Structure 1
């Protein structure tokens, strides 16, 4: 190890993000852009000083990641080279062209991928629109920065910028313990068995779970790599609904977030007819010691509830709140290890453990002192989830930011669901002691957000013509057929050819973990994520699996038993 660097294993909370990046190195899906318009005299030199000082203060922001024979290491640069602020100048464009150029520049800055192996996972871009107007885009990758961390970065950047402009020392809190301290503590807890209780809880709680989602179009629709395939809608609650929410939270001894989450689960149940609702929510692993540590400290837990439409909202809220509190009480087990435990115990979850994320965002803002600053929502690309809802619970008001993946939802359906949610929330708060099935929730959905129907075949279904007259090259051996059936089950699309590619079919990092676990159980213990990443085509992958004695008695002589993949 270089004398100017430190290294340690990748943290458990970073593992899933790293796997996604390995599969999608040019995807900015896990980038966290903060976009601002500043009207005033912007000082680029002060911004560059503040930006690099924030990087110096927090080791996560000067970390790169490297694959080694012993696993993934994160390497911390003790004395990094200064990172320049990217500057774009649009002052020479006409007013008509400038608007289009500005949006293009904002999109490019917000979605420029990071090379996690070679550069700090944070970037600042200043776009000069006029002599008195500058757009700022601050982006950090989620592998080194969670929502709370971003509020810390913004707070410190603002103070350092203002101090540079004043020419006085900054008023900053002492540097917090580095992220490496948090990772070492978490790895030690996993190694010494301190999280056995959490593991047992999640194995029991999530047996057979399938992530819940609002109905959408065919989830396997083709997409254009790198395109902005999300649709973001912000729905602020009006004053009357905000007051009703706050008042009912006080009366029910609940929290606004619990009420919003409960309303979401009720809307899902009304839209799908499924009473089993499992939704991901982000939690913070921050103790007071790590309150101002910058890094990936947020974990994902799955809040699973049974929604009985014959009960009242008041009764349902009580149950959903208890479910949420139980999940938070067991938040110390990293999500990636939770999923691995389910596989190892043979409790196969659905194709996706989480399809919908519903969380409360951290409140933070940038303050540059002079001038006027306004924040705007950045357009981003789709990630592994169908829908992410971020609840902004500020003292000035409450708003929900919805990020829909356009592979699943049309913009029309997205707008409809947002409108239906507000109407359903108002109905629940207005009549909390009326049974849910008497509130006309399905009618609200049908009127405001007609549930989309897809003409695509159901997952695993194969058109009859595809099952006939296969060329010899399309015949699969028994091992390939078994693996193909597993891939079909996990991804939700038919695997029809020995040359089908797991990731081109729509598989992603979370699906890869499930697929590998099933192959280990049914075919060969030599299956691994690395093998799947390196050889994603069916025949190539299967040819590298070693014979497993445990499965030998169930194997069929491949040389005598070619077959085609049909419906599972």
Structure 2
């Protein structure tokens, strides 16, 4: 499709820098709900579907991101914003009159269907509302927004305005939501301009220095051999809720140290990583709001990712460590305006594998809820499959308590290891807060991780044993006279070296598939940068998406010279 075929009743603008990684992930995984943001509520009371749909459509008219689709044109990916969208209906599922047991089963199925049905971002806006009617006075609502059109703070704004619109509609009044905030297109245009006029040069220099030579911190997991099966993106989810005494102790100690609860939680995470890995340099990803007062209520993906790099010395106290990590966190936030995709691209240009700097994300959840002003409305916590990270920890810090939701990628962690790490973190946090002014290496932190270490050792031993057994016979169980593996050409061998370096697994055949070896959207940019430098400048992101088999990919490259049998990029 070209830009000329786009409906003239729409506005277009380029894809925003903060949307680039999400778009690449969607291209690779169009059926994945990994970037779906869910809000699920059970409502007890008289429900008005007409008021619900009116409120939903008012939100869509108010916020341009909710009426945006995406097109891959000859000039690049663009956002297509409908100026006057047709009214949209809520999807209604009627379970009234069913026996209790059947209704409960159908309710679970309906919620899962609504929550996990993928978006076609090229044909439909990334927002969807489902109303599941269970009786005349019991309704379940499922609101799903794709992360490419909103982030956590944007979802909090939507819930607040949705509730106000519903309440006033029920009363027959007009909601006063204040002036329409600047649209997401205004934010994107400003960000794109800043990327070209030198505004971010100082930030780019900061990140080059800050991230030079580091890899993203990750808790040790299962060492998977290279496989020929797609990489699983499911997760094990474990929740750690701090008991009242520990939560109160954390809050009081943070206040006495002029810090925040989140800084204490992140510092404890860095200490845990340093303890089990033995590496005193930690690098954790964190989401920032990305919002100035002007865009405080703009709906879109404004949240950026930064890397908090810290030096953890276990011979020092937790009090000293908190001070250092808090400063590291503030420095990262002070340099949050440069989009993370451009940080990675800049690192790639410096011959570093930028995607390797983000493996663990530790962040604060956004607080927001829906209020109808009548009946009883209860929120249901919803989980979806995770994206490309090994571990994502979301901290829910509120007046009612502190909880951490840990989402572990099952390609890296077993359920038992995930649960072990979660429990160990709680124990380590308690030890650190109990004696914050003594050397941390005297607190027995390693003992708290002993059970996890045993699980990892057992897993490693089982993996080695399995590899030995498979080495004694053909992998397919057939004759040892199987046909030999295909041989690499010089071009293919050079590409294989780049792939192996980025993916961290051997590339055994020119018939290997990049994504089946574990590649994902965050690694595509680093891979193409390496291929352009080592093999051919003609390599593109789209080329790897469309031709992920090494031999097929290599055949598309324009290679004009060779040195010592290995091609050189031209």
Note whether the superposition's TM-score is higher than 0.5.
yes
1:249 paired residue number: 254
For the residue of structure 1 that corresponds to 2:203, the secondary structure is: helix
Report what 2:488 is aligned to: 476
Distance 1:95 1:178, change over 3 A: same
Partners in 1 of 2:225 and 2:334 — Cα distance? 35
Q: Distance in 2 between matches of 1:557 and 1:105?
A: 54
Cα distance 1:299–1:242, how it changes in 2: closer, same or farther (>3 A)?
same
How is 1:366-405 mapped onto 2 (pairs within 5 angstroms)?
A: 366-405=370-409
5+ residue gaps in structure 2? 1-5
1:492 and 2:515 aligned: no
Judged with a 3 Å threshold, the aligned counterparts in structure 2 of structure 1 residues 220 and 41 are, in CA distance, closer, same or farther, namely farther
Q: Deviations over 1:7-28 (max 9, x none)?
A: 0100000000001001111111
Aligned equivalent of 1:520: 532
Asked whether the equivalents of residues 416 and 450 of structure 1 are also in contact (C-alpha less than 8 Å), the reply is: no
Give the CA deviation at 1:73. Answer: 0.4
**How many Å separate the matches in 2 of 1:76 and 1:457?**
54
1:425 aligns with 2:429: yes
Q: Is the 8 A contact 2:365 2:395 kept in 1?
A: yes
Q: How does 1:95-494 map to 2 (within 5 A)?
A: 95-218=100-223, 229-349=234-354, 352-447=356-451, 450-452=454-456, 453-454=459-460, 455-456=462-463, 471=483, 474-494=486-506
* Structure 1 residue 272: Cα displacement: 2.1
Q: Which moved more, 1:404-413 or 1:7-16?
A: 404-413
Q: 1:510 to 1:247 in 2, by over 3 A?
A: same
Structure 1's unaligned 5+ residue stretches are 559-568
Deviation of 1:347 after TM superposition, in Å, equals 2.9
Deviation at 1:415, TM superposition (A): 2.1
Counterpart in the other structure of 1:504:
516
Pairwise CA distance, 1:391? 1.1
Match of 1:553 among 563, 566, 569: 563
Q: 1:508/1:116 Cα in 2 relative to 1: closer, same or farther (>3 Å)?
A: same
Q: 2:96 aligns with which of 81, 87, 91?
A: 91
Question: SS in structure 2 opposite 1:280?
Answer: strand
Matching residue of 2:3: none
For residues 487-517 of structure 1, what are the alpha-carbon distances to aligned partners after superposition, in whole Å with 9 as ceiling and x for unaligned? 1222232222222111122210111111111
Shifted more, 141-150 versus 79-88: the winner is 79-88
Report if the CA contact (8 A) 1:107-1:380 is conserved.
no
Query: Are the structure 2 counterparts of residues 481 and 225 from structure 1 closer, same or farther at C-alpha, using a change threshold of 3 Å?
Result: closer
Task: Give the conservation status (yes or no) of the 8 Å contact 2:288–2:303.
Answer: yes
**The residue matched to 2:528 in structure 1 has which SS?**
helix
* Contact 1:215–1:451 (8 Å) recurs in 2: no
Q: Distance in 1 between matches of 2:50 and 2:231?
A: 32
Task: Find the aligned partners of 1:555 and 1:88 in 2 and give their Cα distance.
Answer: 64
Question: Per-residue CA shift, 1:83-127, capped at 9, x if unaligned?
Answer: 210111223432223222222221111111000000010001111
Q: Find the residue that maps to 2:115 and give its secondary structure.
A: helix
Candidates 541, 544, 558, aligned match of 1:532: 544
* 1:53 maps onto 2:63 in alignment: no
Q: Aligned partners of 1:382 and 1:75: how far apart in 2?
A: 27
- Of residues 248-257 and 110-119 in structure 1, the stretch that sits farther from structure 2 once superposed is 248-257
Q: Distance in 1 between matches of 2:440 and 2:12?
A: 54
Q: Deviations over 1:62-98 (max 9, x none)?
A: 0011011111100100011112101112234322232
Give runs of ≥4 in structure 1 deviating > 6 Å.
Answer: 220-228, 460-470
On the 8 A contact 2:231/2:516 being kept in 1, the answer is no
SS at match of 1:209: coil
Change (3 A) 1:171 1:445: same
Tell me the CA shift for residue 290 of structure 1. 0.5
Distance 2:230 2:378 in 1: 31
The question of whether the paired residues in 2 share the 8 Å contact of 1:106 and 1:378 is answered with no
Deviation per residue, 1:196-247 (Å, 9 max, x gap): 1111111111122212122222457989989982233332222211211111
1:340-368 Cα deviation digits (max 9, x unpaired): 0001122334x632111111112111001
Contact 1:420 1:449 in 2 (8 A): no
Comparing 447-456 with 253-262, greater Cα deviation is found at: 447-456
Q: In the superposition, relative to structure 1, how do residues 502 and 273 fare at CA in structure 2: closer, same or farther (>3 Å)? A: same
Normalised by the size of structure 1, how large is the TM-score?
0.92
CA contact (8 A) 1:220 1:506 kept: no
Equivalent residue of 1:474, what SS? Answer: coil
Structure-1 separation of matches of 2:46 and 2:228: 41
- Structure 1 residue 472 displacement after superposition: 5.4
Contact 2:487 2:509 in 1 (8 A): yes
How many matched pairs?
554
CA distance in structure 1 between the partners assigned to 2:296 and 2:66 by the alignment: 17
Find the aligned partners of 1:52 and 1:152 in 2 and give their Cα distance: 15
Name the SS of the counterpart of 1:352 in structure 2.
helix
- Secondary structure at the aligned position of 1:375 is classed as strand
